[in-house]
Chains A and B, each alone.
Chain A
């Protein structure tokens, strides 16, 4: 493992790679800072640009954006009370009051330090877990993988923001979309209507472009021409003192643990974990009433959680090929475009890329700190501009990205269709990420259930034949039972 990491460090230290990672991080902060633009969307926009690059630099650029957006989302949350990303919403609770009190620089300073330490914390956990989990996962059989997929889907629908019912509807819709194409065992055509392009199913990379690129632009059209009111336009970052940070070590520890742990659960990640960490810290505090009035703990905790997520989502993505959130879903799609095979064999076959991505997270977190420390005022300036001029460019790059997934126009039409579907979904408060996970995990689950049954001569006992499987089945049933119980009791 150490050799792998050191090797990756050496290959990343080429100037071109470092520049790309740096630019990616800066771009990520910018994208995160602009409300309405998100990290999956930025990665989609980058797809056509990274397509012709070598594999490692391409992923370094994407990783930079991914890490950068996590911090960037806190800028407008603190200065405008409009979070730049859904995950930044929690930071606004204490960040905005602190900025109003006349300390916007310090609020941003706490956000920067929280993100940086959270990022390092998540990285340490990811670096330990990925090789460990992959060495176990390589031995997994079809029944195990099917159960992991089902558990992931149940968790998504249970923990996603909003209601479990909406989450479940989203997941099932995703599963339905995933049934289009040839049956994986009998090769019967399903819902292809004789159209041969649909034989291998709805191309999920194109659907992602629609959901995270085109749909976002469609929903943001209504924000066009709205000026933003900053708390203040002139500010400098004021880094908090070391003793103030050390006194609040619990925030970073809890945030880091929650961020990494929840981030590692497929589909749940970024949006919920800051709130859970925030609530935990508030409950532990001797003065919970001060939360929301602009105290440092309220900024440090969500931001640490936020960036620890980046490490957390890498664990299932790199070890199992299962995405933790929208951004990692697109990165998995990009892996296929670059000729990698995401899944349990990735670590065995392409360990250089796995370690490269991990080292990229670490360096990008460091770059993020540097950029925020030295150049924050330029990013804040941009917050005052109308960002609608960006939309045509996003659409152009999203369309190019869709085209490149197959080099035909078919995925472009899929992207446009799913852009409209995604827009309707988001405007009705259905979390799109549940549909996406349904689409991605659906074929994995179906194929593996059927293979497991084929191998066991159609004996369903195979799904509880080993201890890990028993635990997973118990977790699935327990979660379902809990959700049903909660649904029944809250109604009466």
Chain B
């Protein structure tokens, strides 16, 4: 009997542990309490760094405290779904990159869609760029593609993941130009970084400003970019040719922005837009951008929503034409 009691106590403790958290909704006097910015990735990555930088900037704009919650898992889906289903009171915001959402929507059946969110605004755009080790000796992307055409099936292009914007960009370049290179999907940016530094792939596609330090050191060369690099803090890189410049009619880059659940009242979203815009234009965030590698931007909600929706249709188009 005593044994049974002991086991029971332990089981009860176990179940009491399952945390339940609920916040009261408050619509007037927004913001009146702590704002949570959900970053759907583990602490330490690029999106997390931008999220933390933005939270610091927001603190200079509002009187309440702003904290970052890393709710990771399932390639960013867990945290995104969590916010989409959270109380629409303007205290739980999602901070995520556009392509992080559109790529997963393109490749997978996931329990959210672009209609589940309200778009507050985008504040940080980084193009996706094509890099190679300096020893490869390519002049630019056109040079690389010419070499790839001359050696069909022999050159390799690494991407930071098998189902992301980088994969779509590589497939589109391959499909549109007809250059026959092999796409090697590494498991995330860190593995591709290592392969590029170790000169194990011919070229690699990754979001800027990853490897910017190696570019500055002269070890890695920028071949091309999915979007203009005019906002980069490293001036020599600003006139790198975009895909459009060399006749590939696509634009690929990631914009980080703020989203809230669809049902958030109009009064709160417009107040939040003002706050986010102020934070994006604040000195604090400019400083962060300088350190990180790109100057911040401000894309208002409606324009941001249009951008992400056209990005999704571009991705679905690329997938249908060049991958399936």
Contact = CB atoms under 8 A, between A and B. Distances in A.
Nearest to B20: A409
Contacts of B110: 196
Contacts of B18: 399, 409, 412
Nearest to B14: A395
Interface in B131-150: none
A396 B13 contact: yes
The B interface is mostly helix, strand or loop, or mixed, namely mixed
A464 interface: no
Contacts of A189: 108
Interface stretch (A154-162, A278-286, A332-340, A374-382): A332-340
B111 A196 contact: yes
Nearest to B77: A196
A385 to B, nearest CB: 17
B78 A187 contact: no
A184 interface: yes
Interface size of A as a range: 35 or more
A454 B190 CA distance: 18
Contacts of B236: none
A183 B194 CA distance: 21
Interface string B1-25: 0110011011001100111000000
Contact of A217 (B10, B73, B77): B10
B111 A187 contact: no
A199 B73 CA distance: 8
Nearest to B69: A407
A388 B6 contact: yes
Interface in B50-100: 69-75, 77-78, 81-82
A408 B45 CA distance: 19
A53 interface: no
A339 B52 CA distance: 13
Contact of A345 (B82, B108, B190): B190
B51 to A, nearest CB: 12
Interface stretch (B114-122, B179-187, B272-280): B179-187
A186 B9 contact: no
A343 interface: yes
A224 B42 CA distance: 39
A337 B108 contact: no
B72 A406 contact: yes
Interface string A411-423: 0100010000000
A418 B164 CA distance: 31
Contacts of A392: 9-10, 13
Contacts of B43: 337-339
Contact of A224 (B6, B77, B108, B200): B6
B227 interface: no
Residue picked from A217, A406, A409, A447, most chain B C-beta under 10 Å: A406
A336 B43 CA distance: 8
A14 interface: no
A163 interface: no
A457 interface: yes
Contact of B17 (A186, A340, A396): A396
Given A139-B198, A451-B184, A407 B70 contact: yes
A457 B182 CA distance: 9
23 contacts: A138-B197, A194-B109, A196-B77, A196-B78, A197-B78, A198-B74, A199-B74, A214-B14, A221-B6, A221-B7, A336-B42, A337-B42, A344-B194, A392-B10, A395-B10, A399-B14, A406-B73, A408-B71, A408-B73, A410-B78, A412-B18, A454-B182, A454-B184
Given A196-B111, A396-B13, A455-B200, 11 more contacts: A141-B200, A199-B77, A221-B6, A337-B43, A344-B194, A345-B190, A399-B17, A406-B73, A406-B78, A408-B78, A451-B186
Interface of B: 2-3, 6-7, 9-10, 13-14, 17-19, 42-45, 48, 69-75, 77-78, 81-82, 107-111, 153, 156, 162-163, 182, 184-187, 190-191, 193-195, 197-198, 200-201
Interface of A: 138-139, 141-142, 182-187, 189, 194, 196-200, 203, 214, 217, 221, 224-225, 336-341, 343-345, 388, 391-392, 395-396, 399-400, 403, 406-410, 412, 416, 443, 447, 451, 454-455, 457
